[in-house]
Amino acid sequence: MRTHAILPNPESVEIALGAAPFRITADTAIDVPDDERVLAIGRFLSEWIGRAAAATPPRVEVVRAGATHAGHIALTLGAAAAADEGYELTAAADRVTIAAREPAGLFYGVQTLRQLLPPFVEFGGVRPDPSRPVLAPAAHIVDRPRFAWRGAMLDVARHFFTVEDVERYIDLMALYKLNRLHLHLADDQGWRIEIASWPNLARHGGSTQVGGGPGGFYTQAQYAELVAYAASRFITIVPEIDMPGHTNAALASYPALNCSGQAPPLYTDTNVGFSALCIERDVTYQFVDDVVREIAAMTPGPYFHIGGDEVKTLGADAYNAFVERVQSIVASHGKQMIGWDEIAGARLQPTAIVQLWRPKASPAGAVARGVKVIVSSANRLYIDMKYDSHTPLGLNWAGTIDARDAYDWDPVAMYTDVPESAMLGIEAPLWSETVTNIRDVELLAFPRLAEIAEVAWSPAKRRAWDEFKGRLAAHAPRWTALGVNFYRSPQVEWER
Ligand code: TNX
């Protein structure tokens, strides 16, 4: 029988089922130290758990207390058993304490506390009800992540998603301790970010999408808002501008980027591999420099993703030379370059990162130079694949990925020529050829994104499908309370 439904599974959990639980009421407060970052985490916690505790604001009050008090939830920074992103959570009848060395650890401890509480707490319309107390079991949890990179990717190019949609996705990622959101900001069908020095990219290149809808783009102010929203939830935005292929939207916006000097029409179908920047023209590198410079300036995170996938119109030497030239542009703007696994054949700097998407990719040469990898193997992590042949959305070129397939594997066993020390972690891309709105995104992302979060976070020895599927089943009522449109895979006995 399961004693908890914390997902991802912590490194160590003791639940004292016989002991009295902690009860959240209108008298509960959250004690935080005099630290703005922790204060912000306390306010999130209050928002997430407060509605079921008290009918009116301030609900669960956040108090900047030097000390911690009986009956309260305390967030404390300092020497904790767990380092970096780790935390230690102790719940007893008289108090809950979450301790961490860094604010990120407190944020993750708070996600764990959310999941110790009953799912109805998450419902926006919930009101305090004495017949339905808000209880956390007595527990002691010591936890930290296996991998530093726990990512999701959203393709906002094939179909555009609004700032609000992306913020919704960020909120759902945060519940499962994911910490990187890679935004695929440009592809053949759309350019989605305002570039002041090349204004037609967004204005024209962003004006449509797959199927011919109106598309859209983020202004620089909106992008900054997304970056800040993600950062407050300990998620780093990783911007991607795919090049030299997947560039029809840019080529349609500026004739000079084409070797022919002629701009093609906008493209709203879903074939890949037909477009490429004119790599012989100097203006192409001016364009790349301007785009990287403007996006780098708006992106506090250390990464810039150059795409680099599926270029069918260039030979290997020309392609590699392009990647090496772009690599120095990215470095000149102070960012670390990431690219899809095709870039592994170029002379990469040791700070480069290769994102493996083909299950048979073999980046051993790059890894020998010190390059690190992110695992995104399409047959396990592409959450735009169908669950089974009946799934109304999604693609199937990499197979179907049902709940068990998304969970029951390990990145180290998949890429045998990459040692675990060279793996930054894993990331689940969601390509949007077939999804037009956030409800569709949710149907493909849940349950798989939550499952993948456990692959990224939990020690391999703490992962077993038969035990996991029971914990996963318990998230159905939480998703219902949060209004998440999830797939009821028949492989899981979902709780009501
Ligand atoms: C492959 S993965 C692509 C994308 C598609 C995706 C659809 C990769 C680097 N390229 O352009 O959207 O498959 O699953």
Strand partners, 240: 184, 305
Distance CA 433, CA 130 (A): 48
Distance 16 CA to ligand 1 centre (A): 47
At 69 the pLDDT is 87
Q: What is the pLDDT along the chain (496 residues), one digit of tens a residue?
A: 689 999 999 999 999 989 999 999 999 999 999 999 999 999 999 999 999 999 998 899 999 987 778 999 999 998 776 678 999 999 999 999 999 999 999 999 999 999 999 999 999 999 999 999 999 999 999 999 999 999 999 999 999 999 999 999 999 999 999 999 999 999 999 999 999 999 999 999 999 999 999 999 999 999 999 999 999 999 999 999 999 999 999 999 999 999 999 999 999 999 999 999 999 999 999 999 999 999 999 999 999 999 999 898 899 999 999 999 999 999 999 999 999 999 999 999 999 999 999 999 999 999 999 999 999 999 999 999 999 999 999 999 999 999 999 999 999 999 999 999 999 999 999 999 999 999 999 999 999 999 999 999 999 999 999 999 999 999 999 999 999 999 999 999 999 9
Residue 310 among the catalytic residues: yes
Q: Locate the DSSP E strands across 272-342.
A: 303-307, 336-340
Cis preceding-peptide flag for 58 (omega within 30 of 0)? yes
Cβ–Cβ under 8 Å, residues 338 and 304: yes
Ligand 1, atom 9: closest residue by C-alpha: 309
Beta-strand (E) ranges in 329-381? 336-340, 353-356, 372-375
221 touches 193 (CB < 8 A)? no
Q: Please tell me the residue having the least CA distance from ligand 1 atom 7.
A: 431
Query: What pLDDT is recorded for position 82?
Result: 67
Instruction: Report how far residue 434's alpha carbon sits from residue 391's, in angstroms, rounded to the nearest whole number.
Output: 11
Pick the atom of ligand 1 nearest to 398's CA: 14
Nearest CA to ligand 1 atom 10: 309
Instruction: Name all residues whose Cβ lies below 6 A of ligand 1.
Output: 272, 309-310, 340, 357, 382, 384, 395, 431, 433
Q: Looking at residue 68, what is its pLDDT?
A: 79
Q: What's the confidence (pLDDT) of residue 58?
A: 85
Task: Quote the strand ranges of 26-85, DSSP E.
Answer: 29-32, 61-64, 73-77
CA–centroid distance, 177 to ligand 1, in Å, is 25
Which sign does the torsion angle of CA 295, 300, 303, 307 carry?
Answer: negative
Residue with CA closest to ligand 1 atom 14: 431
State the Cα–Cα distance between residues 413 and 400, nearest whole angstrom: 20
Which DSSP helix (H) or strand (E) runs through 364?
helix 364-368
- Provide DSSP, 190-224: EE-B--TTSTHHHHTTTS--GGG-----B-HHHHH
Determine the pLDDT at residue 160.
98
Candidate from 247, 309, 340 with most ligand 1 atoms within 8 A of CB, to mutate = 309
Instruction: Please report the sign of the dihedral spanned by the C-alpha atoms of residue 447, residue 451, residue 452, residue 453.
Output: positive
Q: 463 C-alpha to center of ligand 1: Å? A: 29
DSSP string, 128-154: --TTS-EEE--EEEEE--S-SEEEEEE
Catalytic site residue from 310, 420, 427, 493: 310
Residue 82 CB-half CA count within 13 A: 26
Query: In testing the pocket of ligand 1, which one of 310, 354, 386 has its CB within 8 Å of the most ligand atoms?
Result: 310
How many Å lie between the centroid of ligand 1 and the Cα of residue 340?
Answer: 10
| Atom 2 of ligand 1: nearest residue by CA position | 357
Distance 224 CA to ligand 1 centre (A): 26
Instruction: Please tell me the predicted confidence (pLDDT) of residue 57.
Output: 87
Residue nearest to atom 6 of ligand 1 (CA): 431
What pLDDT sits at residue 105? Answer: 97
pLDDT tens per residue across span 273-294: 999 999 999 999 999 999 999 9
Tens digit of each residue's pLDDT (9 = 90 or more) over 40-57: 999 999 999 999 999 998
| Interval between CA 309 and ligand 1 midpoint (Å) | 8
Cα torsion through 174, 180, 186, 191, rounded to 10: 50
Q: What tokens were used for 407?
A: 């969970």
Residue owning tokens 């102070």: 334
pLDDT at residue 83 in the model: 75
Residue among 153, 272, 356, 396 whose CB has most ligand 1 atoms within 8 A, to mutate: 272
State whether the Cα torsion 247-251-254-259 is positive or negative.
positive
> What's the chain's length in residues?
496
Rounded Cα distance, 5 and 8, in Å: 9
Alpha-carbon distance of 75 to 73, in angstroms, equals 7
pTM score, whole prediction = 0.98
